[in-house]
Amino acid sequence: MWKCQVCNFIIEAEEAPEKCPKCGAPKEKFSELTGEAKELVTKSRETNSLLMELADLMEEIEHISQEGIDINLDPGCLSLFEKAKEQSTLIKQSAKAEIETHIEKGKWG
């Protein structure tokens, strides 16, 4: 795993690329990521993909909840669906914000 020191782009390969695919910096600008740094990148990528999965599921819950709210059978059901919608929106937004933080830091590609 290699990291461009200019733009933080990360590439998984045996050797550093001739040129950075993102910013065009030459091979010498790449440093190899090993050990803990490499593990951190891997963990961060896995976490980002889990966060995205979570956000998608929350969106599904929002839709289901909205249907329940629209049907409005009785106050108990309405309140449950409203609660579910509120919580799923919150979790979805938090997950997306977390992903954005990771991307902004540019640390982990």
Name the site residues for Zn ion (rule: CB under 5 A).
Answer: 4, 6-7, 9, 20, 22-23, 25
Instruction: Output the smallest distance, CB 4 to Zn ion, in A.
Output: 3
Question: Are the C-beta atoms of residues 16 and 30 closer than 8 Å to each other?
Answer: yes
Instruction: Output the smallest distance, CB 30 to Zn ion, in A.
Output: 8
Closest CB to Zn ion among 26 and 90? 26
Instruction: Output the smallest distance, CB 109 to Zn ion, in A.
Output: 10
Instruction: Output the smallest distance, CB 9 to Zn ion, in A.
Output: 4
d(CA 108, CA 84) in angstroms, rounded, equals 33
Closest CB to Zn ion among 38 and 96? 38
Closest CB to Zn ion among 25 and 57? 25
- Amino acid, res. 8: N
- Amino acid, res. 53: E
Closest CB to Zn ion among 96 and 107? 107
Coil/strand/helix, residue 27: helix
Q: How far is CA 86 from CA 4, 73, 79, 107, in A?
A: 41, 19, 10, 32
